[in-house]
Amino acid sequence: MRLRSFTAPTSTEAMNVVRETLGDDVIVVATQDDEGGGVRVTVAIDEPDVDPGPPSLAMAPANGRARGPEPAGDIVDEVYRNLRFHRIPAAIGDEVLAIAESRRWPNATVALGAALEELIRFDPLPAPGRTAPPVMLVGPPGAGKTQTAAKLAARTVMDGRKAGLLTIDTKRTGGAETLAAFARQLRIDPIRAETPQHLVDGLLAVGNCDCAVVDSAGCNHLDIAQMSELGRHVAVAEIEPVLVLPAGIDHMEAADIAAVFRELGARRMIVTRVDMSRRLGTVLAAAAAADLALAEIGDTPRIKDGLQPADPFGLAEHFIPTVAAAHSQRTGTE
Ligand SMILES: Nc1nc2c(ncn2[C@@H]2O[C@H](COP(=O)(O)OP(=O)(O)OP(=O)(O)O)[C@@H](O)[C@H]2O)c(=O)[nH]1
Ligand SMILES: [Mg+2]
């Protein structure tokens, strides 16, 4: 017996989807309001039991892209088990499964990657040297903004280009010093912008840099005064606010946070601490809820090579790690 959930605006519509997808030979085990809106119908399908527990190395494909075709039902099952394990919100999960079922994919990673490519936008930050407005990293306290600023600067410097760092995190004890400590390793002296006008001046001073990144203080998205203060800094010049959000937090909270930072002007997000989180539903929930494009993935505390430009198949491998990738994640070796 296997369980599957379908979400639609009404229970009648959800049942229609159930019948279209699985026929009449199903048992409805639950009908409930979905957290994301609409009604979720859960049905039992009369098939041999499938353990819905965490994906294990034994279940992982030996090599995400190179393995030959698996039976279509096995692939959909594997995608389904991973969606459940990662706590993917039902509404997105249903769409992913529909895509996984729509074609014969070589394996589950490719099926999930193809679904992510269709459902989520991917828009990495421009490579150094490409003309782009300065980026301001914004997000909740402790999300990884300062470390990400250092990672972006390091990527630019490693590429032989010039990076400029600024910070508006000047009121909090130690805020600016953390960035300065990272920046020293890169021989960069970050500019401390105490006021919006200082920020304008600072941005002019780094105008010749290939990549200018502004670090900001962590903001409570429910605190209007804090968000307004941040908004005043974003508005002073042509700056792109980019949300930084850690993986692994509750997916409904992540969606709320993303929606508030979208109001501030964020259109892209960087997900950090992917190496520390076994469940990545947050990533999809936040991106889908606020229509944010995934820009970069932080999957290491290291500054050097600390960010990977987000792409659907790379992300799918984080959801369904290959044996080799899982091994290297655990041991730090190739
Ligand atoms: N393992 C891991 N740790 C990370 C990653 N990104 C950030 N961290 C850690 O997360 C913690 C917080 O990172 P910060 O960059 O200081 O976070 P912040 O958003 O600037 O925090 P505030 O300025 O206090 O709001 C630090 O201990 C970082 O080393 C990552 O991708 N992986
Ligand atoms: Mg910081």
Ligand 1 contacts CB of residue 332 (under 6 A): no
Q: Give yes or no for a contact between 156 and 128, defined as CB atoms under 8 angstroms apart.
A: yes
Count of CB atoms within 10 A of residue 132's CB?
A: 15
**Confidence band of 234 (pLDDT split at 50, 70, 90):** very high
Q: Is the pLDDT reported for residue 2 higher than 80?
A: no
Q: 37 in helix, strand or coil?
A: coil
Query: For residues 23 and 11, what is the distance between their CA atoms, to the nearest angstrom?
Result: 16
- pLDDT at residue 25 in the model: 73
Q: Is the pLDDT reported for residue 246 higher than 90?
A: yes
Q: Is the pLDDT reported for residue 99 higher than 60?
A: yes
CA neighbor of 157 nearest in space, from 225, 218, 209: 209
- pLDDT at residue 156 in the model: 92
- Looking at per-residue pLDDT, the higher value among 65 and 129 belongs to 129
What's the gap in Å between 93 CA and the centre of ligand 2? 33
What's the gap in Å between 281 CA and the centre of ligand 2? 24
- Looking at per-residue pLDDT, the higher value among 70 and 303 belongs to 303
Q: What is the CATH number of domain 135-310?
A: 3.40.50.300
Nearest ligand atom owner, CA of 272: 1
Q: Is the pLDDT reported for residue 30 higher than 60?
A: yes
Q: Give yes or no for a contact between 251 and 201, defined as CB atoms under 8 angstroms apart.
A: no
Query: For residues 153 and 147, what is the distance between their CA atoms, to the nearest angstrom?
Result: 10
Query: For residues 239 and 116, what is the distance between their CA atoms, to the nearest angstrom?
Result: 28
Q: 263 in helix, strand or coil?
A: helix
Average pLDDT (169-188) is: 92
Q: Give yes or no for a contact between 39 and 12, defined as CB atoms under 8 angstroms apart.
A: no
- What does the radius of gyration of the chain's CA atoms come to, in whole angstroms? 22
- Enumerate the H helices of the chain as residue ranges: 11-22, 72-85, 90-102, 108-119, 145-158, 175-185, 196-205, 224-234, 251-263, 281-290, 312-319, 323-331
Tell which one of 137, 146, 147 to mutate to probe ligand 1, the residue whose CB is within 8 A of the most ligand atoms: 147
- Looking at per-residue pLDDT, the higher value among 188 and 59 belongs to 188
CA distances from residue 219 to 147, 155, 316 in whole angstroms, order as listed: 16, 26, 30
Report CA dihedral (301, 306, 310, 314) to the nearest 10 degrees.
Answer: -80
Q: Is the pLDDT reported for residue 28 higher than 60?
A: yes
User: pTM value?
Assistant: 0.79
What's the gap in Å between 184 CA and the centre of ligand 2? 16
Least-confidence region, from 69-78, 146-155, 259-268 = 69-78
Q: Structure tokens of 15?
A: 């049942």
Q: Structure tokens of 261?
A: 């930072």
Domain ranges of the chain: 2-119, 135-310
Average pLDDT (193-220) is: 94
Query: For residues 309 and 176, what is the distance between their CA atoms, to the nearest angstrom?
Result: 26
Ligand 1 contacts CB of residue 272 (under 6 A): yes
Count of CB atoms within 10 A of residue 227's CB?
A: 18
- pLDDT at residue 72 in the model: 66
Q: Give yes or no for a contact between 80 and 97, defined as CB atoms under 8 angstroms apart.
A: yes
Ligand 1 contacts CB of residue 93 (under 6 A): no
Ligand 1 contacts CB of residue 167 (under 6 A): no
Which contacts (CB < 8 Å, 24+ apart) does range 328-331 have? 329/275, 329/299
If you take atom 17 of ligand 1, which residue's CA is the nearest one?
144
Q: What rounded mean pLDDT belongs to the chain?
A: 85
Ligand 1 contacts CB of residue 292 (under 6 A): no
Q: Quote the Cα angle for 124-244-323, to 5°.
A: 65
Query: What is the number of the ligand 1 atom nearest to the C-alpha of 298?
Result: 31
What's the gap in Å between 149 CA and the centre of ligand 2? 9
If you take atom 26 of ligand 1, which residue's CA is the nearest one?
144
If you take atom 4 of ligand 1, which residue's CA is the nearest one?
301
Ligand 1 contacts CB of residue 216 (under 6 A): no
Least-confidence region, from 126-135, 216-225, 270-279 = 126-135
- pLDDT at residue 37 in the model: 72
Q: Structure tokens of 170?
A: 């000047």
Tell which one of 216, 230, 242, 272 to mutate to probe ligand 1, the residue whose CB is within 8 A of the most ligand atoms: 272
Ligand 1 contacts CB of residue 273 (under 6 A): yes
- Looking at per-residue pLDDT, the higher value among 150 and 322 belongs to 150
Q: Is the pLDDT reported for residue 168 higher than 80?
A: yes
CB-based burial label for 27 (10 Å; 0-12, 13-18, 19+): exposed
